[in-house]
Amino acid sequence: MFFLIFLIFIGYYFYKRKPDANSFREYILTNNSNSSSSSSQDLFKFFNKLLVGQPSVPEFKLEDYYCFSVVSFKDGTATYVGFLNKWYLWSKIEVVNSNGRGDRSRRKNSAQDIEGLAYGDKEAAIRAKGNKDYHTAARSFLSAAKRFKKIGDESNLLEAANCYEDAYKAFQQIKQTDKAFEALETAASIYERNERQSTRAARVYEILAEQYKKTNSSQFNLEKALKMHRKAADLFELDGDGSCDPSGFATACKEYDQLTTLTPCQTHILLGAKKNLEIEDLR
Q: Per residue in 36-79, pLDDT tens?
A: 444 455 556 655 655 554 545 667 888 888 788 999 887 677 88
Residue 235 has pLDDT above 70, yes or no: yes
pLDDT in the model for residue 105: 46
Q: Which amino acid is at 223?
A: E
pLDDT in the model for residue 34: 43
Are the C-beta atoms of residues 187 and 168 closer than 8 Å to each other? Answer: yes
Residue 272 and residue 270: Cα distance in Å, rounded?
5
pLDDT in the model for residue 37: 43
DSSP 263: P
Closest CA to 208 of 229, 178, 238, 233: 229
Are the C-beta atoms of residues 138 and 171 closer than 8 Å to each other? Answer: yes
Spatial neighbors of 51 by CB under 8 A, at least 6 apart, are none
Residue 151 and residue 54: Cα distance in Å, rounded?
15
pLDDT in the model for residue 134: 96
Q: What does the angle CA 158 – CA 227 – CA 256 come to, to the nearest 5 degrees? A: 145
Computed from CA positions of residues 251, 254, 258, 262, in that sequence, does the dihedral angle turn out positive or negative? positive
| Strand order, beta sheet including 78-83 | 60-64, 69-73, 78-83, 86-92
User: Which has the higher per-residue pLDDT, 91 or 178?
Assistant: 178
Q: What percent of the chain has pLDDT over 90?
A: 27
User: Which has the higher per-residue pLDDT, 213 or 175?
Assistant: 175
List alpha helices for the chain, DSSP H.
2-16, 21-31, 39-52, 104-108, 111-130, 134-151, 154-173, 177-192, 198-215, 219-239, 246-259, 264-282
pLDDT in the model for residue 282: 40
96-114 pLDDT, tens digit each: 444 444 444 454 457 888 8
Are the C-beta atoms of residues 85 and 69 closer than 8 Å to each other? Answer: no
Average pLDDT over the chain, rounded to whole? Answer: 76
103-162 pLDDT, tens digit each: 444 544 578 888 889 999 999 999 999 999 999 999 999 999 999 999 888 889 999 999
Residue 277 has pLDDT above 80, yes or no: no
pLDDT in the model for residue 150: 92
Mean pLDDT (whole number) for 86-92: 81
Domain definitions of the chain by residue range: 2-92, 102-180, 194-283
Please tell me the least confidently modeled range out of 11-15, 61-65, 179-183, 197-201: 11-15
Residue 10 and residue 281: Cα distance in Å, rounded?
67
User: Which has the higher per-residue pLDDT, 266 or 209?
Assistant: 209
| Ramachandran category for residue 256: left, alpha or beta (phi over 0 → left; psi -120 to 50 → alpha) | alpha
pLDDT in the model for residue 152: 87
Class in CATH terms, 102-180: mainly alpha
pTM over the 0.75 mark: no
